[in-house]
């Protein structure tokens, strides 16, 4: 086929693209950056770009590398491409960073110094391996439960920066110990033939860096590299992309700097500017037409995010009309905030909204309890989005551990998980003796089991014999039949049958058989293909592929959407989702934006991006709420209104409660409001709120705040004060008496501080 840079007239998939989308899809094969605003059709642009490149003969499916951040997004992309192109796409490399690195390392495991059957540790397995390592060097992780997690973060953080233990320098003795443990952890993983998620990327980058022939091969093969959610890439992921690309590669990066909200996971939004500079990007296209939200919602999002500095800049717009104004509710307490939300949802359901079209978003998981309680009491079905996924459930991880030992009996993490599960009389002392023997021999626990004497040795060898029998008996069986045999022979089913609450776990284990059958279909293998056989030298056996699939799915940060239930989730979890009606809760200083970000300009900008994401989840109806008092972590907080509310355009808002002229606290009289529906001077609150806590003038004050003379100092908890250095704040507590008296103030900019009343000069506001 003769390559053409013009869309063929018979390409129906180009029809319906707006001018900017069409321009992005049909760009020449050069580095390009697509700034794709929320709801602007970025997935359509990405998939159509791939289809257009193939349809015009500029590449074949084998010449495309497409990177996503979730397995769900990769499957959606492949599904769309299959519908667009009547050709076989099986050889195309489309997947997550981890999935594609796994594929690369499987193909070149010898060059990467890995066994052919290397296994992948998900986060839980990695933590278990770290705890085991600490015990082996005489450190009891039970004495400090946080230390293994700290070490896990330490290791993963440096891997994401591309640094091995020997590259880290530290004069700090604590960090020096972590560096030593990092090296021992690497040695342990290498000995056992396992890799964690960070290792998949780091080893791939190192492989491509030192093996120039291999790097040149893949650079020549992948003439077109496409990356989704580019703003969420970390430094190591960017290095991996650079290793596979040249300035001549059609590196097509799609992202939105205004939706970069994962810095805590290592994401670096600066990669967008870095890519633009280092690849001399000549094509920067902004997708600004929004197909999701109405005008008021987009105007609010645009005005809010304009307060961030250094943006690449774009302005969302829609031709769908302005829609309803954004409703704002300021409640006296978190209980009344949740009551407002629940009663409003009840009204939406009566109007015909489906429950799963409604979402309640919050900045902190701790906020959900009160909302859940109100929904439960109202009899409204709800789901907390992001619960345990299938492959993370304990019974499934037990089953997978047996399968992993059948594939690679020398994996110590899997061995330890099930050596005494179901219980077979192998205690902690027996395992400790086995670990000591393995350490002396420099071998796996599985190998060392044959060297252990006495009762302990007999019991452990009984377990080893079970694994050996399973490996022998399942030769030639299909993957579903292998899984079924393992469940019966391992006694997992029998174990849960004895448990009064084991029915659900048994159902989950049975579902694993179904998952194995579905995986074989997805793999494209015949139903009778043996689970432990390889189609050719370059492919994994179905069992090995299924285990990799399970580990990668467990690490996927996306969860399935609930059905017919109101969705509760953090704003972070909401990214990539959309709903007809959205409630954004807790718009209070210290909560949203979070207190930890108040003193950090970069952190505050990320909090603003998080609010931007929250706003742009709504299609038709957006409600924002806050509470003057909130119970969190066992303490009542007295709150100032979030600065983000002051950054929204007044013309887009409809206040459902009296709006105070200052970001003050509970206990102050409310100003004459700009409200939707009732007035402070004699009207009535919305019918669904009733009169609970509302008078015709304002709100009922808590008795403890009724007097402004709550302390000998003349100040009271909840009172707004000013300080020459720290600025505006709220009194939150007192300590001591007389000359030793101290006052606690939560300042908007400086955070919470204890001040000596005999010295401090505070002004009542």
Q: Which are the catalytic amino acids? A: 42-43, 228-229, 259, 617
Distance set, CA 65 to CA 57, 87, 250, 464 (Å):
16, 17, 10, 42
CB atoms within 10 A of CB 490: 25
Tell me, what DSSP letter sits at residue 656?
Answer: S
Q: Which residues contact 469 (CB under 8 A, 6 or more apart)?
A: 489
The rounded distance, in Å, linking the Cα atoms of 454 and 471 is 26
Reduce the DSSP state of residue 468 to 3 states and report it.
Answer: helix
Tell me, what DSSP letter sits at residue 262?
Answer: -
The rounded distance, in Å, linking the Cα atoms of 48 and 40 is 14
Q: Determine the angle formed by the axes of helices 503-523 and 479-489, rounding to 10 degrees.
A: 160
Distance set, CA 441 to CA 434, 445, 450 (Å):
11, 10, 12
Closest CA to 684 of 509, 675, 200, 569: 675
Tell me, what DSSP letter sits at residue 345?
Answer: H
Tell me, what DSSP letter sits at residue 425?
Answer: S
The rounded distance, in Å, linking the Cα atoms of 304 and 610 is 11
Q: Are 312 and 35 in contact (CB under 8 A)?
A: yes
343-371 burial: b if 16+ Cβ within 10 Å, else e: bbbeebeeeebebbbbbbbbbeeebbebb
The rounded distance, in Å, linking the Cα atoms of 358 and 366 is 20
The rounded distance, in Å, linking the Cα atoms of 304 and 611 is 8
The rounded distance, in Å, linking the Cα atoms of 49 and 414 is 43
Closest CA to 358 of 558, 569, 613: 569
What would the DSSP string read from start to end of 689-704? Answer: GTTTTB-SSSBPPPGG
Reduce the DSSP state of residue 250 to 3 states and report it.
Answer: strand
Q: Are 723 and 744 in contact (CB under 8 A)?
A: no
Q: Are 452 and 443 in contact (CB under 8 A)?
A: no
């Amino acid at each position: 086929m003769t390559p053409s840079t013009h869309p063929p007239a018979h390409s129906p998939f180009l029809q319906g693209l707006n001018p900017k989308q069409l321009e992005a899809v049909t760009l020449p094969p050069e580095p390009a950056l697509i700034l794709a605003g929320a709801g602007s059709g970025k997935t359509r642009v990405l998939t159509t770009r791939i289809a257009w490149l193939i349809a015009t003969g500029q590449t074949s499916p084998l010449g495309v590398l497409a990177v996503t951040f979730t397995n769900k997004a990769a499957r959606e992309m492949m599904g769309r491409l299959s519908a667009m192109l009547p050709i076989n796409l099986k050889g195309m490399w489309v997947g997550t960073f981890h999935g594609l690195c796994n594929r690369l390392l499987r193909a070149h495991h010898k060059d990467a110094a890995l066994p052919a059957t290397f296994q992948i540790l998900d986060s839980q397995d990695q933590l278990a391996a770290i705890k085991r390592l600490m015990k082996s060097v005489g450190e009891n992780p039970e004495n400090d439960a946080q230390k293994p997690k700290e070490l896990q973060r330490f290791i993963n953080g440096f891997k994401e920066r591309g640094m091995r233990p020997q590259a880290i320098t530290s004069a700090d003795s604590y960090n020096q110990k972590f560096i030593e443990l990092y090296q021992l952890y690497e040695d342990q993983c290498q000995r056992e033939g396992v890799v964690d998620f960070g290792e998949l990327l780091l080893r791939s980058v190192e492989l491509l860096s030192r093996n120039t022939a291999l790097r040149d091969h893949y650079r020549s093969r992948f003439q077109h590299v496409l990356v989704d959610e580019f703003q969420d890439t970390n430094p190591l992921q960017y290095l991996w992309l650079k290793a596979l690309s040249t300035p001549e590669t059609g590196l097509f990066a799609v992202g939105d700097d205004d939706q970069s909200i994962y810095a805590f996971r290592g994401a670096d939004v600066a990669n967008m500017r870095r890519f633009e500079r280092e690849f001399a990007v000549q094509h920067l296209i902004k997708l600004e037409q929004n197909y999701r939200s109405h005008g008021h919602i987009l105007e609010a999002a645009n005005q809010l995010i304009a307060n961030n500095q250094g943006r690449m800049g774009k302005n969302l717009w829609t031709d769908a009309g302005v829609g309803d104004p954004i409703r704002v509710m300021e409640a006296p307490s978190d209980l009344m905030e949740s009551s407002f939300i629940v009663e409003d949802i009840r009204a939406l359901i009566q109007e015909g909204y489906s429950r799963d079209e409604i979402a309640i978003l919050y900045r902190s998981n701790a906020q959900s309890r009160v909302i859940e309680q109100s929904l439960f009491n109202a009899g409204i079905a709800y789901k907390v989005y992001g619960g345990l996924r299938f492959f993370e459930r304990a019974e499934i991880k037990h089953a997978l551990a047996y399968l992993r030992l059948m594939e690679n009996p020398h994996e110590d993490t899997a061995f330890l998980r099930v050596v005494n599960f179901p219980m077979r009389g192998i205690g902690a002392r027996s395992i400790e003796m086995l670990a000591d023997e393995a350490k002396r021999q420099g071998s796996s626990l599985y190998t060392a089991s044959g060297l252990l004497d006495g009762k302990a040795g007999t019991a452990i060898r009984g377990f080893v014999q079970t694994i050996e029998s399973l490996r022998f008996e399942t030769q030639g069986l299909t993957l579903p039949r292998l899984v079924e045999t393992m469940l019966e022979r391992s006694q997992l089913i029998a174990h849960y049958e004895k448990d009064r609450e084991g029915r659900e776990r048994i159902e989950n284990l049975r579902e694993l058989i179904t998952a194995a059958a579905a995986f074989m279909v997805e793999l494209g293998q015949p139903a009778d293909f043996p689970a432990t056989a390889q189609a050719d030298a370059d492919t994994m056996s179905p069992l090995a592929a299924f285990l990799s699939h399970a580990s990668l799915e467990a690490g996927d940060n996306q969860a399935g959407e609930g059905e017919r239930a109101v969705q509760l989730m953090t704003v972070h979890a909401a990214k990539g989702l959309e709903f007809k009606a959205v409630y954004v809760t807790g718009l209070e200083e210290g909560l949203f934006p979070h207190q930890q970000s108040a003193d950090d300009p970069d952190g505050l900008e990320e909090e603003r991006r998080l609010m931007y994401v929250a706003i742009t989840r709504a299609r038709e109806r957006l409600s924002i709420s806050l509470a003057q008092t909130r119970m969190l972590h066992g303490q009542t907080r007295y709150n100032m209104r979030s600065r983000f509310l002051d950054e929204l355009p007044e013309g887009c808002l409809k206040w459902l409660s009296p709006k105070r002229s200052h970001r003050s606290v509970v206990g102050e009289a409310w100003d004459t409001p700009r409200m939707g529906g009732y007035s402070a001077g004699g009207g009535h609150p919305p019918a669904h709120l009733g009169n609970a806590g509302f008078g015709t003038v304002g709100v009922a004050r808590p008795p403890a705040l009724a007097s402004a003379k709550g302390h000998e100092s003349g100040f009271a908890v909840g009172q707004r004060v000013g300080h020459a250095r720290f600025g505006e704040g709220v009194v939150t507590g007192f300590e001591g008496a007389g000359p030793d008296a101290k006052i606690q103030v939560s300042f908007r900019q400086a955070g919470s501080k204890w001040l000596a009343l005999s010295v401090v000069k505070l002004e009542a506001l």
